[in-house]
Amino acid sequence: MNDPDEKQAAEYLSTLGKSRNQYIVQAVINQICNQDHAPSFSLSDIRKVVREEFQAVALSPSATVLNEAELDPNTVLEDLSIFD
């Protein structure tokens, strides 16, 4: 149990006692039903993608750096377009 998520799941399942099997069956059924609706992304998945994108921009020779005086709070989303 080196994976923190697996450890947390195992600890939770151990608290369920005899209802553990029913819980697992219901979780699998829910996953099957929701499989076609939307991809499941964990917070760590999102963090990884954001981190990779920031690293790619930081290493890019064409990256533009804005100083604080150039940032207008009213147009901050437009200012982020430099990362496209």
Model confidence pLDDT, tens digit, residues 10-34: 888 888 888 888 888 898 888 888 7
Distance spanning both ends of the chain, measured CA to CA = 40
**Helix, strand counts (H, E) of the chain:** 4, 0
What is the spatial distance between Cα 44 and Cα 47, in angstroms, rounded to a whole number? 5
Q: How confident is the model at residue 38 (pLDDT cuts 50, 70, 90)?
A: low
Q: Domain map of the chain by residue range?
A: 1-40, 41-84
Helical axes 4-16 vs 20-34, angle rounded to 10°: 130
Length of the chain: 84
| Token pair 């989303």 in the structure block, residue | 77
Tens of pLDDT, residues 47-80: 888 888 878 776 666 656 656 666 667 776 776 6
For the whole model, what pTM was predicted? 0.37
